[in-house]
Structure 1
Amino acid sequence: ERHRDRSEYIIFVIGRKGRDYFKRLNMPVAEEVIGLHDNPAFADIRDLARMAVSYFEKGECDELYLVFNQFINAIQQVPVEKKLLPLQEMKKEGGPSTSYEYEPSPEKVLDILLPKYIETLIYSAVLESKASEFGARMTAMGNATNNASDIISQLTLTYNRARQAAITQEITEIVAGANAQV
């Protein structure tokens, strides 16, 4: 049973729709990035990622999750929830184990690498979400084009039938008038 109380959440949002959604639910939005370009830069999310890591390092949050749309293909995008922190310990498989010496200490290496790791994961999620958005737009525009083509075909057929009926009516009137004179 995970965090049922809304006050336990600290939310970092990328995008206007996400921000509006969480504000409508009265969820606490700690930081937001709005107005990303279609080709987002790594620097666009760096501050947000660092702030999220700092919340975790200071103990203000005990877990850090990333929720985004994973791009499968142009017509399929899947919402994904990925746990970023705390890091999961990898299971050791059979075989020789290796030991590494770190200089500086493993803690200092982790202090340097952890923010970069989280930045990279968040940037990757932003790119996947953008690809999902473009795929959804492309599919919607393709469907709109197909629907417009169908409507144009139906209207052209209706117009041609009406025109043909009008011509037939005129010919019938001309023939009837000619027969009346004979």
Structure 2
Amino acid sequence: MASLKDLRARIGSVKSTKKITSAMKMVAAAKLRRAQTRAEAARPYAAAMRRMLAELGAGTRGQSGLPTLLAGTGNDRIHLLIPLTSDRGLAGGFNANINRKTRDLIRQLQAEGKTVRLLPVGRKGHDYLMREFSDLVVDHVHGSGGKEIPFSAAAELGERIAAMAEKGEFDVCTVVYNRFQNVMSQTPTEMQLIPLALPANDAAASADAPVYEFEPGEEELLSSLLPRNLQVQLYATLLESAAGEQGARMTAMDNATRNAGKAIDRLTLTYNRTRQTNITNELIEIISGAQAL
């Protein structure tokens, strides 16, 4: 049985931990409000731009010499995966879910005879992939470190991916990220960035589909808008991931604070029982000594 001194030390240690987790929960809650607002504000713009580019690209279906960002290389042999994780832990299963989904996707592609390359964003994903698939990692990108994500970060990443695509370093590019649902739920999601997903042939040829005339022209518009669309989609996924991280951390720290409170209650009860037992034993010894006299 632990001594009273040991129990007091453990109670003090758990109380200190509870203060830390409670403070981290409040910080995550404050950051979550801003991150959630930005993520939700970016969704309609990213969805509208993706839909517009898909409809615009559908009009060029079957043509030769299309931009790589639209049509890819014509193959699907080399896949570039971009998992988005955080730089810090203490966020429950936020990073583990992305690592697990990336691992499953790698094994699935390899089973199909595909070549996989990895460009992780965030330290947690990079560390995991370097342990499990170090030969597949071509490079890595540092995360935001918990700070607000500027559009310039997505623009820089988009330019890097576009340059790799133009050099033919991959055929298909897919980003894996946590889509923010609510504080309790972040859904691991994969989205293909290159080549651009186009609507089905029957949908594009529907009689009810509107007919557009473009000025200055489809090819010129695509060459201008495709790089921008890539950056916008990356920015939206980065915002979703940032909001999911704060939501997961808030939930994890809330659970940790509750568990610390329960541990304090159990330790306090054990301390009081041990103290009462010691007092009872001392009284028995005193009474026994007095009777012996």
Question: What aligned pairs does 1:26-65 form with structure 2 within 5 A after superposition?
Answer: 26-30=135-139, 32-38=140-146, 39-57=148-166, 59-65=168-174
Query: Is residue 21 from structure 1 mapped to residue 128 from structure 2 by the alignment?
Result: yes
CA contact (8 A) 1:12 1:52 kept: no
- Please list every run of 5 or more consecutive structure 2 residues that lacks an aligned counterpart in the other structure: 1-75, 79-109
Root-mean-square deviation (Å) = 2.8
Question: What aligned pairs does 1:114-133 form with structure 2 within 5 A after superposition?
Answer: 114-133=226-245
State the shift of 1:179 in Å. Answer: 5.2
Question: Deviations for 1:59-90, whole angstroms, at most 9, x for unmatched residues?
Answer: 44322211112223333322211112222332
CA contact (8 A) 2:179 2:186 kept: yes
Aligned residues: 179
Q: Which residue identity is paired with 2:222? A: L
TM-score, length-scaled by structure 1: 0.80
Higher relative contact order (CA 8 A, sep 6+): 2
Question: Deviations for 1:1-21, whole angstroms, at most 9, x for unmatched residues?
Answer: 965367x44433211222333
Residue range with higher mean Cα deviation, 71-80 or 118-127 = 71-80
Percent of paired sites with the same residue: 41
Query: Is residue 161 from structure 1 mapped to residue 273 from structure 2 by the alignment?
Result: yes
Question: What aligned pairs does 1:30-179 form with structure 2 within 5 A after superposition?
Answer: 30=139, 32-38=140-146, 39-57=148-166, 59-90=168-199, 91-92=203-204, 96-176=208-288
Q: 2: distance between equivalents of 1:135 and 1:79?
A: 14
State the shift of 1:156 in Å. Answer: 0.8
Question: Deviations for 1:74-108, whole angstroms, at most 9, x for unmatched residues?
Answer: 33322211112222332248554432222221111
Q: 2: distance between equivalents of 1:138 and 1:13?
A: 24
TM-score, length-scaled by structure 2: 0.53
Q: 2: distance between equivalents of 1:174 and 1:163?
A: 17
Residue range with higher mean Cα deviation, 38-47 or 171-180 = 171-180
Please say which structure displays the higher CA radius of gyration: 1
Q: SS where residue 14 of structure 1 aligns?
A: coil
Q: Which structure has more helix as a fraction of its residues?
A: 2
- Please list every run of 5 or more consecutive structure 1 residues that lacks an aligned counterpart in the other structure: none
